[in-house]
Structure formats: structure tokens, C-alpha cells
Structure 1
Amino acid sequence: MTSEDLVLVAGGTGGVGQLVVGKLLEKGFKVRVLTRNAAKAEEMFDHRTEVAVGDTRQPSTLPAAMQNLSHIICCTGTTAFPSARWEFDPPLNLIEWGTAFLNPKSSQAKAKNSPAKVDAQGVSNLVAAAPRNLKRFVFVSSCGILRKDQLPFSILNGFGVLDAKQKGEEAIASSGLPYTIIRPGRLIDGPYTSYDLNTLLKAKTGGKYGVVLGTGDTLSGDASRIDVANACVESIIHPSSSGKIFELVNQGARPAVINWETLFSQLGSE
């Protein structure tokens, strides 16, 4: 890390993203939050970050956020199944909600914030806008990308969330940018959306389990949002995580200190 490093966090006001911002600030990074709601971000992070107003779904809003960046950490996402977060326009009535669950393709087309538009197109737009001299692009993806024909991932992918995240991964891996892709298990701990920055800076996992990383999309289990956020930040600190795609779950006894360099160094390549 140098005094010139500036990290853009996309999805910085979400469950994992806000924890990422807190960890970056704790370690002395300069942070810029990409958000659609500047006032929300400024209040959440006590005016300690830069704020860039933009939307990954709208490519024209992204260039202004890319000035002088060293790293991008992308924590954007939406719900796996139709919900109010999909931002249906116009809003659905009760009968239309039922139809949405019966017709995944139709519901995706009517939503402004579906997985296809956030996890696939949005991530691709962010990659296309990224500076070519970027030191690292970190992306929070999901376990199950390579197991979409197996339970429970076949159910999780009912509305295409894993398909969309895979397209996002592919855009990153083929971009020529240095990258790290993290595939967490089922997220637990938090989110801390109602807490202040001081709480975020002190956030520690309440679990007693260690951090396990693996490659090849073979791991399953729960993953603490706090540990996922830590992995994002530690990834840009340790060169050994560059070019790696790995799952993260919480299993086994938790050591007093998580040795991220050892965890990253033991990973093979995808």
C-alpha cells in the first residue's frame, strides 16, 4: 500500500460493501464509494470517504468515478429471487408477483435491478470503465458457479443469479486486468446497515470458526460477511492473491489471527 492508493468500492453501502469500506479505512486506504445515493454514503461513513454518484447499470455514469484509482472492489448484488430490490417498473400487483415466480425470464425483463442487470451487465460495465493500469479488481461472487446442476445451487439459480455472476466473473477474467474473485458460501453476520462507522471499524465475526479457502468450486457452508470483507481488503494487500478465484467458508477452529498470506499462498490456480 502506498499513500497514492485509492480504492473504489462499488456496492459500498450494502452488507459486505460497508464492511469493506470500514476495513479499508481502518488500514489507512483512501476510499471512494460508488453509490446512487450520495447522502446515504456520506452519513454512513461519517464523511471519511470520497463519494462518486454512479450506477453500474448505466455506463455513462462511471468514467467520473474512475479518476486516479489504484483498485476496485465490487460488492454489488441483488436478491436471488424476485423482490422489491429488483425495482419492478411499474410495481407488480399480487397476480403479477405470482407470474414473476412462474416465469423467470419475464420477471428479469421487467426488473431494473435483476441479477442479469446487476451481476452480469453491471459488472461488465464496471470492468469496461476500469483504468487499464489498475492494480487489482476484486469481485465478490458466489459458491455454486460451477455446480448449478446440483442442489442447493440449482434452486438458488432458479432466476439466474449464478448465471449472471458467472458472466461477471468471465468479464473480469478476460479483461487483462489483475483480479481476485471471491466465491463466498451462504452469507451470515450482519449486515450492519443501521450501524455507524465506529461500529463498522470494530466489527468482528461472532463465529468461532476458522476461514477456509478452496478452488474449483468444491466448498459449501456459511461465510461471515466480516471475513468476506476482510478477504477483499487482504487481497489487495497480498500479491499472492492476484489471479486467484477461490471459495470462502467458515469451518473448523478459529485461530487467534487469520494468516491471509498463508491462505492465499496455498491456493492453486483455476
Structure 2
Amino acid sequence: MLNNSDLILVAGATGGVGQLVVAKLLEKNLSVRALTRNKSKAEKMFNDQVDIVVGDIRYPDTLKRAIENVTHIICCTGTTAFPSQRWDFANFFEAKNSPQIVDSEGVKNLILATSKNIKRFVFVSSCGVLRKDKLPFNILNTFGVLDAKLSAEKALEQSVLSYTIIRPGRLIDGPYTSYDLNTLLRAKTDGKKGIILGTGDTLNGDTSRIDVASACVECLNYEVTINKAFDIINSGERSPVINWEKLFSEIS
């Protein structure tokens, strides 16, 4: 159970899911440390309400300050599945931000830097990591993003850390990167569909970034989610109030 003495590090804090995770942690009056490459962007977004640490999961020597005294880590880092400006090309064969470098090696760097005494390491992965040879995931994996996510999952499972792996479907709602913290705190899903959790990478569908962020935070309150990987999509009728305890208990 999260409490006021906890310090939660959010890696990828200014990304589409990460910034919503930060907002939801702040809603609960929890202490948050944001790991970011862009200090000015984080300062503008979070309005001095979080501890901002400049670092880069691609470079292990930049992570020491970030992980000091943290009790939980929520890793929302990631790059695009297909080549884009975000890949930061030197040339086609030398992308500094490719899935292999960010989603695999970078996450592994963060895992290795993390103290074994941490209470939980939450990793946002992807639906399809176990179905990479089947449509539509074989197309999504054309440039290896699912290979990279699965590699990071395995590293986390083989570590000594207590972990939770969250596998969303195609992300909808947002991203909200042009908004300020006040807007993030008011963010509501535009979808009218409920939340479905599953195990074994069997679900297909869209997933609200807001619901992914909520799952990242809420799973920290329940022991049944320790050392588990679960899928999350939106489907069916949405309840006025989401009962996370019930949802998690059904996949335990």
C-alpha cells in the first residue's frame, strides 16, 4: 500500500503515459520524482510539484541520482514502433532512439541500477509481445518494438526485483504533452468503455492512456499484482467508479 513516506520515480515522465502517471500520483498527495531528458519541459509541465532529475536510461551513469531513496519505480519510457524523427538517426543503421536501444537496453539499464530493496518496479510493455508472429502484431513488430519490450520483460522477471508488467493495447486518449499540470489533473477518458484485464497476452483492442496510468498507480496498492504481467484494454460498459481491487483480484 502506498503511503506518504514513499517516493515514486516515474521514468519517461513527460511522455504520453508518464505525465498522466505523475498527475495521478500527485492527486494522491504522493512524493514524485520525474526522470526526464528535458528539464525545462518537465518544469513547465509539473509546476514545481515534483523532484525533477535529468537522466537518460540509455546511459547508466546518469541514473545514480534518479534512483536514490526511491521506494517504487514506474517505467513509462518508449519510442515509436516505426522509424520517425524520435529515433534520432545518424543514418538508417544508427538510430540513437530505436526500440532496441530504448525499450530493451534502456529499460535493462534502469533495472540494473535499481536497488533490490525497492518495493515495486512497474513496467509498461505492450499487448502482442507473446504473439509477435500473428497479425496485426507481426506488422507492429516490423522494426522490433515487441522484441525489445519482451526482452525488457524477461530481464525484469529474471531480476531480484518485485515487479508488475502492464501490457496495454493500442493507446488512445492524448497524448497530453502540450498541456500543463492542471489540465493533466482534470484529464478524463473520452472513451465510454470499461476496463478489461487479462493474463497471458490474449486481449485485443484499444486502451486509454488514462486507464494505463491509473493501472500503473493502483497496482502498487495490491499485493496480488506483485510479480504479475497483465493485459489491459477498454471494452464493454464503463462503470461510474472503477473497482481496481475487484479487477486485480479477478486476474490473481
1:249 is aligned, of 228, 233, 245, to 233
2:108 is aligned, of 85, 99, 124, to 124
Q: Show the counterpart of 1:96.
A: none
Amino acid corresponding to residue 222 of structure 1 in structure 2 = D
State the Cα RMSD in Å.
0.9
User: Deviations 1:121-143 (Å, cap 9, x if unpaired)?
Assistant: 00000000011110000000000
Q: Show the counterpart of 2:52.
A: 51
Matched, 1:146 2:147: no
| Inter-partner Cα distance in structure 2 for 1:70 and 1:154 | 37
User: Once the 2 structures are TM-superposed, how far is the Cα of residue 2 of structure 1 from its aligned partner?
Assistant: 2.2
Alignment check: 8 A CA contact 1:142 1:184 kept: yes
Amino acid corresponding to residue 158 of structure 2 in structure 1 = S
Q: Which has the larger radius of gyration?
A: 1
Q: Show the counterpart of 1:227.
A: 211
In the alignment, structure 2 segments of 5+ residues that lack a partner are none
User: Once the 2 structures are TM-superposed, how far is the Cα of residue 64 of structure 1 from its aligned partner?
Assistant: 1.2
In the alignment, structure 1 segments of 5+ residues that lack a partner are 93-106
| Inter-partner Cα distance in structure 2 for 1:265 and 1:122 | 32
Matched, 1:174 2:158: yes
Alignment check: 8 A CA contact 1:240 1:261 kept: no
Q: Show the counterpart of 1:13.
A: 14
Q: Show the counterpart of 1:238.
A: 222
User: Once the 2 structures are TM-superposed, how far is the Cα of residue 180 of structure 1 from its aligned partner?
Assistant: 0.5
> Whose helix proportion is higher, 1 or 2?
1
1:163 is aligned, of 131, 144, 147, to 147
Q: Show the counterpart of 2:71.
A: 70
| Inter-partner Cα distance in structure 1 for 2:212 and 2:33 | 19
User: Deviations 1:120-179 (Å, cap 9, x if unpaired)?
Assistant: 000000000011110000000000001011000000000000000001101111111111
**Which aligned runs of 4 or more in structure 1 are off by greater than 3 angstroms?**
none
Q: Show the counterpart of 1:84.
A: 85
TM-score in terms of structure 1 length: 0.91
User: Once the 2 structures are TM-superposed, how far is the Cα of residue 238 of structure 1 from its aligned partner?
Assistant: 1.9
Amino acid corresponding to residue 59 of structure 2 in structure 1 = Q
1:217 is aligned, of 178, 201, 209, to 201
User: Once the 2 structures are TM-superposed, how far is the Cα of residue 50 of structure 1 from its aligned partner?
Assistant: 0.2
| Inter-partner Cα distance in structure 1 for 2:200 and 2:222 | 21
User: Once the 2 structures are TM-superposed, how far is the Cα of residue 232 of structure 1 from its aligned partner?
Assistant: 0.3
Alignment check: 8 A CA contact 1:244 1:267 kept: no
Residue aligned with 1:158, SS: coil
